[in-house]
Amino acid sequence: MFSRTSPSTGKGKPEVTGFYDQDTGSIMYVAACPETRKAALIDVVMDFDPQAARTRTDSAQEVLDFVTEQGLTVEWVLDTHPHADHFMASNWLKQQTGAPNAIGAKTHQIADLWREIYNLPDAFDVDSDFDRLFNDGDTFTIGNMDVTVLLSPGHTLGSITYVVGDAGFVHDTFMHVDSGTARADFPGGSSADLYASLMKILSLPDETRLFVGHDYPPVGDRQDPAWEATVAQHKADNPHIGGGVSEADFRQLRDTRDAKLRLPDRMLYALQYNLRGGQLAPAQGDGHSYYKIPANKF
């Protein structure tokens, strides 16, 4: 798996290693405290084969192997939102590490939307499947590093950003600085909310390192995946939002692009898995779990 490490820039600032999942274009992160060697795992992928409807733990295990090799102790298993394009490894990682898993508190409202879409009125016990549900402004620590949670809706209504020292894990808000921004057309999404979230992230100090959730190379002359750029770089060079683009112009661009995009091939499988904290539905009488896929709703 392609990976890259961004060194710590000083006390209280994380060493960040990103792992690229080629099947979904996702980046998984290990944010480590250089002093204590405590770490958080962020948006780690559970592999999924849509043709066979089969999950695997290969990618998540590779992240855990790295943790072991580096002598790290996992303090948190974090997700930024219930992902539509990949399965989350949250529950499996919790079982492997003993660390609590967490996501944003507005996952409650996302679950409400998807209960209706799936016609599963009693599904998705968010409070039981996650150990911590973060609100905007909540704080916690990873080793000696302070973490602040920012509510960052737009891609979903409950996405959150983790600001760890000088690093922001900004998920599906920005794409890499040469690519633009993320889509905002999923249920509960909004280009107006996304614009406000982007502006909030850009109000962080210019030197803040922003780590995005996805990349889909090749982009221009760039062949390798990339996921790190500073606030200052996005302000200057991001093709969707850089140079002071107005909200009206951004929303027109974003909404026009989104209208042409297809759903991710894993989306209708993934949400019912992710809203259970990264677990299958309870097994039925034959000992197997089943997915419920709505027909003709999208």
Residues 213-241 have pLDDT tens digits of 999 999 999 999 999 999 999 999 999 99
State the Cα–Cα distance between residues 199 and 195, nearest whole angstrom: 6
Low-confidence ranges of the chain (pLDDT < 50): none
pLDDT for res 127: 98
Q: What is the DSSP string of 230-297?
A: EHHHHHHH-TTTTTT--HHHHHHHHHHHHTTPPPPTTHHHHHHHHTTTS-PPPP-TTS-------SS-
Identify the pLDDT of residue 206.
Answer: 98
pLDDT of res. 189: 97
Query: According to the model, what pLDDT value does residue 215 have?
Result: 97
**172, 191 in Cβ contact below 8 A?**
no
Closest CA to 107 of 268, 258, 292, 271: 271
pLDDT of residue 186: 95
Instruction: Tell me the per-residue pLDDT of 56-79, one tens digit each, with 9 for 90 and over.
Output: 999 999 999 999 999 999 999 999
- pLDDT at site 60: 98
Q: 130 in helix, strand or coil?
A: coil
What is the DSSP secondary structure assignment for residue 228, as one 8-state letter? E
- The pLDDT > 70 percentage for the chain reads 100
Q: Which fold has domain 12-264?
A: Metallo-beta-lactamase; Chain A (3.60.15)
Rounded distance between C-alpha atoms, residue 156 and residue 216, angstroms: 20
Domain residue extents for the chain:
12-264
Angle at 139 between CA 134 and CA 142, to 5 degrees: 105
